[in-house]
Amino acid sequence: MTGKGLARLTAAAAIAVVVAAIAVPGASGAESAPAAAPVRGVTDTTIKVGGLGQLIRYPGAQVGASARFQRANNEGGVNGRTFDYVGMRDDTGAAETGKQVATSLVQTDQVFAIVPVITPDLAVAPDLVSQHVPYFGWAVSSNFCGNDWGFSFTGCTFPPGGVTTSNVWGLLVKQMFGDASAGKTATVVTENTDSGKYFLTTVTAGVKSAGLNVVSSTSPLPVPAVADYGALAQAVLTSNAGAAPDAVFVMASYPNVAQLHQAMRNAGYAGQFTSTVEYEPDLVAAATGGLVLVPTAPTESAPTNPAVAQMIADVTAIAPGVPIDQSVAAGYWSA
């Protein structure tokens, strides 16, 4: 079994075990056994859950999660309880906002679990762990590692401490250079936010580990996005001691990635432009000439991948015509 499959199985088992444990109060038969204490967000008929994420970067996550919960409800739920999904709350990628909205989900909305969690800054994780609040999502932060309450369908992608990170992205881009990969240069660009600066460290380390020469590593991209990306593109195009790098790695929200990519195309950039967000089935033109790292099997694999085919069917059932991009898939697999 793959690590990804194991992560999904573990998460599913965890929520099933917790729900099963509260499903039959007094089942031991002891007449004097006290009644089970009420469990936050769980009634005899429902399980309340809500999501948390950076919606500017992952706008479709709520659709994906809703689709998966709807299928579960259509099939009878878990132990006779259907999911009461209250939707996602936007943390804007900021630590303090994330703490506020997560606290509101738990204390005001009284959710049993937070699903999906798709945000690069999950500073509230220690609080969720201490309060025994399960959370399920895409491990784009280190806070899915090393505790018993966070579950990710991608496993522990970014271990804490900055000592270990993934170099898969860098290795895949390096493969594109083939036999000419020796000495190839790379520039890493992220957003000027707390989460952007976190990604700058992890992505840069991963690219270096893959054997590419990182000549520049900066966080200049504005949030929200601006109208003119000419100056930003020129800074990247001269980041290799006045010349253009062989590859540009951009970790940012879609507006920033798309506009920077277009500005660099307009300036004649001929190197490898790569991101993690330009996989958009109905926006292929915007990603022309780029390389996109995807964390799961793409929708194009549906003819030979029953799980992806099921996801497409479930999303189409509640949101016909919505493009199934990475954020939709992330919400779905989290749920």
Task: Report the percent of the chain where pLDDT is more than 90.
Answer: 62
DSSP assignment letter at 78: B
> What is the DSSP secondary structure assignment for residue 295, as one 8-state letter?
S
Report the Cα–Cα distance between both ends of the chain, in Å, rounded: 20
Give the residue ranges of DSSP H helices in 181-325: 194-209, 230-237, 254-266, 306-318
* Confidence (pTM): 0.72
Mean pLDDT of 32-54: 88
Q: What is the mean pLDDT of residues 81-90?
A: 97
- Mapped onto helix, strand or coil, the DSSP state of residue 192 is coil
Task: Give 7's pLDDT tier (boundaries 50, 70, 90).
Answer: very low
Q: What is the pLDDT of residue 195?
A: 74
**How far apart are alpha carbons 220 and 218 in whole angstroms?**
6
pLDDT tens, 235-275?
999 999 999 999 999 998 888 998 999 999 999 999 999 99
Query: Reduced to 3 DSSP states, what percent helix, strand and coil does the chain have, rounded to the nearest 5?
Result: 40, 20, 40
Per-residue confidence at 32, pLDDT binned at 50, 70, 90? Answer: low
| Residue 24: predicted pLDDT | 40
State the pLDDT confidence band at 31, using cuts at 50, 70 and 90. Answer: low
pLDDT in tens, 150-162: 999 988 876 766 6
Checking if the pLDDT of 11 tops 60, the result is no
Q: Is 258 helix (H, G, I), strand (E, B) or coil?
A: helix
